[in-house]
A = this chain, B = another copy of it.
Amino acid sequence: MISCPKCSEVGSIMKAGYVRNKQRYVCKDCNYFFTLANPESPVPGKKARRHQTTIIDIARSIGVSNSTVSRALHGHADISPETRQAVLNMASQMDYQPNQLAYNLVKSRTNTIGMIVPEFHNPFFPNVIIGAHHVLTEAGYNLTIMQSNESYPVEVSNTKAMLANRIDGLLISLTQETNNFDHLKVFEKRGIPLILFNRVCDHVEVPKVVVNDFDASFSAVEHLILNGYERIAHLGGPLTLLVSRERLRGYRAAMEKHGKSIEENMIIQGMFSQQKARIYGKYLLELENRPDAIFAVNDSAAIEIMLLAMEKGIRIPEELGVVGFSDNPESAYIGPGLTTVRQPTLEMGTTTAEWILQMVDSETEIAMPTQKILKTELVVRGSSNRIRDI
């Protein structure tokens, strides 16, 4: 029989509806509504959630208060050496691991910097990560990395996840699709440090770290021209990216400076996977009046062009000059070596990391530089090094 939890009466219990699929009762005597507590029925194979020892456990076991334990663990001043030692001993004895989540919640900071990159496949972003990771780790910060996968919706959801996780600052390199920047403006509004790198945009007022794409492109193309190439094609990136537009500008400027006519059908813009590069390369090399040099958006595209040319028996650099971008490891070893633009990837990582740390660590609003332009370097190798006096 059921007895009332309040008056212990047995006879006057009546059903009184259901609450969340559980029978509800009422005691007619004391007018007390109640449901029966769940019988203790642990699911057999259920994982027993181990209890992690907390500050409270330590406090109880040596008879002090939580605040004392907290202060002792953090080396505060208001603690006698004896109690501090007792707390420390008990902590290691009970194998205490602080709960960073609770700490983060109360301090509303996470000691974590977020980083969103569009992809991982080129060595470029991993290298930036290495640089940033090093600096942040030295400073005691964690780094969480997300990958937008060159997709704008994913980028937006990534930024939301970063916000939800309350990162202290964000480093981001944009997608090629990104042309709406509301998700970045949220960071401005919230006062959360944000830095754009490599793939930047003009629509948001935060520090940016880029390379001198215009100059790099200009000198690469000029280098080709000085080596006697006349009809230079450009395999560029998607024009949604500022990077691509800058490189195109550099290409045009160099061509114009040296009075070379630009044939628009030799300028191809798009995102270059390995296959795409092969398709467009085939198109270029089979043109009736094919280019005698190609300036490609990245090294893997350039190498694909080189392989294609070799298949067709086109000699490099005599009949075709090739210049890439990024200086991947393989570019040094392919024969002939690929002339390419070396980017200071590590430095890009360290710079962005150092900047974000400045912004995060400063208690007050500080003036940050708006932009840093890192210098690239043209690495001249065999693929473009034609006898000067042609």
Interface contact B101-A165, CB-CB below 8 Å: yes
- Say whether, besides A47-B191, A47-B365, A330-B332, A164 and B120 are in contact (CB < 8 Å): no
A104 to chain B, nearest CB (A): 5
Contacts of A98 in B (CB 8 A): 164
* C-alpha gap A316/B186 in the complex (Å): 59
What is the 8 Å Cβ interface bit string for chain A, positions 257-297, against chain B (1 contact, 0 not)?
00000000000000000000000000000000000000000
Q: Does A102 make an interface contact (CB < 8 A)?
A: yes
Interface contact B329-A190, CB-CB below 8 Å: no
Q: Does A18 make an interface contact (CB < 8 A)?
A: no
A194 to chain B, nearest CB (A): 14
- CB proximity to B under 8 Å, residues A176-205: 186, 189-191
Contacts of A104 in B (CB 8 A): 101
- Say whether, besides A329-B330, A334-B334, A100 and B165 are in contact (CB < 8 Å): yes
Q: Does A381 make an interface contact (CB < 8 A)?
A: no
Interface contact A100-B164, CB-CB below 8 Å: yes
- CB proximity to B under 8 Å, residues A31-83: 43, 45-50, 52
Q: Does A153 make an interface contact (CB < 8 A)?
A: no
Interface contact A48-B101, CB-CB below 8 Å: no
Contacts of A160 in B (CB 8 A): 97
Partner of A101, one of B43, B105, B186, B334: B105
- Say whether, besides A190-B50, A330-B332, A144 and B147 are in contact (CB < 8 Å): no
Contacts of A143 in B (CB 8 A): 144-145
* C-alpha gap A378/B186 in the complex (Å): 51
Interface contact B334-A47, CB-CB below 8 Å: no
* C-alpha gap A46/B365 in the complex (Å): 7
Contacts of A47 in B (CB 8 A): 191, 362-365
Q: Does A110 make an interface contact (CB < 8 A)?
A: yes
* C-alpha gap A362/B45 in the complex (Å): 11
Q: Does A344 make an interface contact (CB < 8 A)?
A: no
Interface contact A147-B142, CB-CB below 8 Å: no
What is the 8 Å Cβ interface bit string for chain A, positions 322-344, against chain B (1 contact, 0 not)?
00000011111111000000000
Contacts of A242 in B (CB 8 A): none
Contacts of A129 in B (CB 8 A): 120
A349 to chain B, nearest CB (A): 11
A83 to chain B, nearest CB (A): 18
Contacts of A333 in B (CB 8 A): 303, 330-331, 333-335
30 A-B pairs whose Cβ atoms sit less than 8 Å apart in the complex: A43-B364, A45-B365, A49-B108, A49-B191, A50-B190, A95-B186, A95-B189, A97-B160, A97-B163, A97-B164, A98-B164, A100-B161, A100-B164, A100-B166, A101-B101, A101-B104, A101-B108, A120-B126, A120-B130, A123-B123, A133-B145, A137-B146, A142-B146, A142-B165, A143-B145, A144-B144, A303-B333, A328-B329, A329-B329, A331-B333
- Chain A interface residues toward B at CB < 8 A: 43, 45-50, 52, 95, 97-102, 104-105, 108, 110, 112, 120-121, 123, 126, 129-130, 133, 137, 142-147, 160-161, 163-166, 186, 189-191, 303, 328-335, 362-365
